[in-house]
Structures are given as C-alpha cells and as structure tokens.
Amino acid sequence: MHAATSHLPRALPQFLPSARDGLQRFGLLHQPGAGRAVRGRVLFVHAFAEEMNKARRMAALQAQALARAGFWVLQIDLLGCGDSDGDFGDASWAAWQDDVRIGAEQLRHCGSSPLWLWGMRAGALLAAEVASQLPEPAHCLFWQPASSGKQLLQQFLRLKTASGLISGQGKGAMAEVQAQLDAGASVEVAGYQLPAALAKGLEKSRLTPPALAEASPPRHLLWFELSTQAEASFSPVAQQAHEAWRAAGWQLEAAMLQGPQFWQTTEIEEAPALLAATLAAMERHAG
C-alpha cells in the first residue's frame, strides 16, 4: 500500500531551542519529494500522553504521503514528550503553545507556501488556540479533534481512578485527584506525572475558531473523524462545532470515515481511509 522506504523523501532531524526554558524540542522535517512543486507547509501537533504513542505510526505514514505529494511536513515533539528535552512533569499548556509557535517559525525557513496546522486530538485544541497568534495565516487540519480539554482531561484522570472504582474503594477518588491538582500538586496517571499547570491549561481549552479579519483570505478547515461503524455520523457536539467554525468564516470540509480508533487501540493499527482522504483533501486545497 505504501511506497518503498527507498523512495521516501528525506526526513531531517531538527533540534529547536526554546527561549522559555532553554531546552530543545525535537522535530522531524519531511522534505517534498524530488521534482515536486512545493504545495504547502504542514506542522503536526500530536495527541496527549499515550494517545501520542498510539498515533505515531499513522502520523508518520501521513507525513510521508504528504511529503511525496509536495508538502513540507514538520512533526514536533512537545516539551516532555517523545525525543524532546524535559519530562512530562515539566510541561504546561503555555509551554506547549510556545512549542507550536516554535514549529511554525521553523517552517518559515521552508518558503512562503500555505501553512497548515495539523492537530490530532488535544493537538487540535493547541492548533486552534495558536492559529490566531501566528504572524501569517494558517489553515487547519484536524484528526478526531477533542471538543474540549475538560472532557479529555476527565477521560485521562479516569485511568487513575478506574482500579479503585472496580475494587469498590474509589468513592471520591476523582474529587481527591482534582483537589491535588487544584492545590498545585502533580498527579501520577498511568505512568505519566501530570503537572497542575498542564492539567489546568488543558481543562480550560476549547475548540474555538480563531476570529478572522474582515478582509482575510479564505481559511480552510479539514475535519476528519473515524468510526468503526459503516454508517456513522458526527456527534451533536461536533456538528455544533462545525457550525461555529463556518459562522466564524472558515471554509469547512468534514468527513466521517470508517476505520479503527488507532489512538486508543491495544495494538498499533492503521486507518487507510483516513490517510487517503487527508491526502486527497490537502492536494485539492493546494490547487
């Protein structure tokens, strides 16, 4: 299904310093395929905690496909994640926003083709918040975006309280965890040391469309979700979000595709329909 490794465009490691903490962020920059006209620059903003690890293969496959089609693609590991400096317990939502800006700034060295912020799950929340803070207009590509950081955080915290609930000793466990975070303490969840600064920032995050200037050129949002069901439709929450982005002036293209929820499956899985639909849409909007 995929091109042989020897035919893939080169991917160059990037070590990007942060003025906030002096630590380096690791990135992987995929160059456009040889002989291809540059069609855009894409910054991938990964998912949260273990979802990031589960989604790495899909992100790599999509980055390679986009590069073959003529896009620059930068995959950046946020502070405390992947191969970047620091520990997860060092992270904050503000630092992660800075990291997205660092990645976008790095892509400015790759020319002036259209910029896309490609967010996966919590990465979509970060992309939406940072899009209005950049010195150039950015389009957005969302994979299974979280509707709110609060909902995602609650799902993550349930991993800590689940064992207690099953054993009958978990009454008030979620309230206790929340009290620790409110007091500024870190909480260990499924092997991750979750700092209060990250939890609070995530909790306040919403998938709110950035306001566009009246004379702003068209801004595109590609929104893809997966369902294991053949005839699934978007949730009412997602539909409301679609309307909000359209009302804010964004040109939305949304599709519900059939495939595994690879960011949370036990085994590493692929969703070919998502790869194909994303590439086709990106090529279409790149002209």
The pTM of the full predicted model, rounded to 2 decimals, is 0.94
What pLDDT score was predicted for residue 198?
98
Angle between helices 173-182 and 149-167 (to 10 degrees): 130
What pLDDT score was predicted for residue 4?
44
Does residue 76 sit in the same domain as residue 92?
yes
pLDDT, tens digit (0-9, with 9 covering 90-100), for 174-194: 888 889 999 999 999 999 999
What pLDDT score was predicted for residue 148?
95
What pLDDT score was predicted for residue 216?
80
Q: Flag whether pLDDT at 171 surpasses 90.
A: no
Does residue 176 sit in the same domain as residue 143?
no
Query: Percentage of residues in the chain with pLDDT exceeding 90?
Result: 83
Using the 3D structure, point to which of 204, 223, 248 is the last residue of a domain. 204
Using the 3D structure, point to which of 179, 204, 229 is the last residue of a domain. 204
Give CA–CA dist 38/114, Å, rounded. Answer: 10
Q: What CATH number is associated with residue 56?
A: 3.40.50.1820
Does residue 9 sit in the same domain as residue 141?
yes
Query: Percentage of residues in the chain with pLDDT exceeding 70?
Result: 93
Does residue 154 sit in the same domain as residue 253?
no
User: Under 8 Å CB-to-CB from 149, ≥6 apart: which residues?
Assistant: 122, 125, 201, 202, 203, 204, 205, 206
Using the 3D structure, point to which of 157, 185, 204 is the last residue of a domain. 204
Residue 207, classed as helix, strand or coil, is coil
Does residue 101 sit in the same domain as residue 154?
no
- The C-alpha angle 188, 191, 197, rounded to 5 degrees, equals 45
Q: Flag whether pLDDT at 265 surpasses 50.
A: yes
Lowest mean pLDDT segment, chosen from 9-18, 60-69, 140-149, 207-216? 207-216
* Spatial CA neighbour of 30 closest among 6, 9, 49, 14: 9
Classify each residue of 173-206 as buried b or exposed e, where b means 16 or more C-beta atoms within 10 Å of its C-beta: bbeebbeebeeeebbebeebebbbbbbbbbbebe
Does residue 10 sit in the same domain as residue 62?
yes
Give the CA radius of gyration of the chain: 19
Does residue 197 sit in the same domain as residue 213?
no
pLDDT, tens digit (0-9, with 9 covering 90-100), for 208-240: 999 888 778 889 999 999 999 988 999 999 999
Q: Judge residue 80's burial from the number of C-beta atoms within 10 Å of its C-beta, 0-12 exposed, 13-18 middle, 19 or more buried.
A: buried
The secondary structure of 124-183 as a DSSP string is: HHHHHHHHTTSSS-EEEEEES--SBHHHHHHHHHHHHHHHHHHHT--TTHHHHHHHHHHT
Structure tokens of 166?
């099953």
User: Under 8 Å CB-to-CB from 150, ≥6 apart: which residues?
Assistant: 202, 203, 204, 205
Does residue 89 sit in the same domain as residue 229?
yes
Kind and range of the H or E element at 252? strand 250-258
What pLDDT score was predicted for residue 169?
54
Does residue 128 sit in the same domain as residue 195?
no
Cα distances from 268 to residues 14, 18, 59, 111, 271, in angstroms, run 26, 31, 12, 35, 10
Does residue 34 sit in the same domain as residue 90?
yes
pLDDT band at 17 (very low <50, low <70, confident <90, very high): very high
Does residue 31 sit in the same domain as residue 111?
yes
Domain hosting residue 161, numbered range = 149-204
* Spatial CA neighbour of 142 closest among 231, 72, 208: 208
pLDDT band at 36 (very low <50, low <70, confident <90, very high): confident
Mean pLDDT of 19-30: 96
Q: In the chain, how many domains are there?
A: 2
Q: Flag whether pLDDT at 112 surpasses 70.
A: yes
Give CA–CA dist 267/58, Å, rounded. Answer: 13
Task: Output the average pLDDT for the chain.
Answer: 92
pLDDT, tens digit (0-9, with 9 covering 90-100), for 118-155: 999 999 999 999 999 999 999 999 999 999 999 999 99
Does residue 47 sit in the same domain as residue 180?
no
